[in-house]
Amino acid sequence: MMLSALPLLARAEPVILVVGDSISAGFGVPLQQGWVALLQRNVQQRQPQLQVINASSSGETTQGGLTRLPALLKQHQPDLTIIELGGNDGLRGTPIPVIRRNLERMVQLAQAAGSDVMLLGMQIPPNYGARYTELFSRSFTELAERFELPVVPFLLDGIATEPGLMQSDGIHPTAAAQPRMTALVEPLVQQWLQERQ
């Protein structure tokens, strides 16, 4: 029998790809204390072979993530792609339709590559008015509803307004906040792991 005729074996150990900005890259926090590293540590207790690849980059926008995503999908072939982008777009006043379109395209690319998708939402200060702020915040949940994706509506929920949990810039969470962020994401990841068994 020719080798090429053999069916491909399903990969036993899942690969999770995190595509985010400085919030997920762990800006100002030791890498091993970031929420992505903590997530990996926690889920590996049950599935030691599971891989969590953090492809987050400080300053990343939805356009930058969209540009990088095809190569990341090809390289890592993730089973789950976690998208945490949009905060930098919002801080720069990027038009909401542009943000939504970029995120939507990222979801579609990941799904076309055979990956499940999870969204991590963000909120921004009302610098550009209440309407922009509200539309920005709703973009994540509306996109998740449209594509039936698991979503954390606000990754800094219970963190952004708590003294000691945000760095002096008021944008990036401290090391003390990282476990709380992990606690928001991990239940959805654990549920995803159970459903794929």
Of 21, 22, 56, 89, which one is the catalytic site residue?
22
Residue 177 within a domain: yes
Catalytic annotation present for 79 = no
Task: Yes or no: say if 103 and 86 are a contact pair by the CB < 8 Å rule.
Answer: yes
Report which DSSP code applies to 166.
B
Residue 75 within a domain: yes
Residue 9 within a domain: no
Residue 53 within a domain: yes
Catalytic annotation present for 4 = no
Catalytic annotation present for 169 = yes
Residue 36 within a domain: yes
User: What is the structure's pLDDT at 37?
Assistant: 97
Mean pLDDT of 134-147: 97
Band the pLDDT of 3: cuts 50, 70, 90: very low
Burial of 51 (0-12, 13-18, 19+ CB in 10 A): middle
Task: Indicate the number of domains in the chain.
Answer: 1
Of 56, 89, 115, 172, which one is the catalytic site residue?
172
Residue 15 within a domain: no
Mean pLDDT of 91-106: 97
pLDDT in tens, 31-53: 899 999 999 999 999 899 999 99
How far apart CA 15 and CA 13 sit, in angstroms, is 7
User: What is the structure's pLDDT at 1?
Assistant: 39
Band the pLDDT of 10: cuts 50, 70, 90: very low
Residue 7 within a domain: no
Containing structural domain, residue 171: 20-192
CATH assignment at residue 75: 3.40.50.1110
Task: Yes or no: say if 92 and 105 are a contact pair by the CB < 8 Å rule.
Answer: no
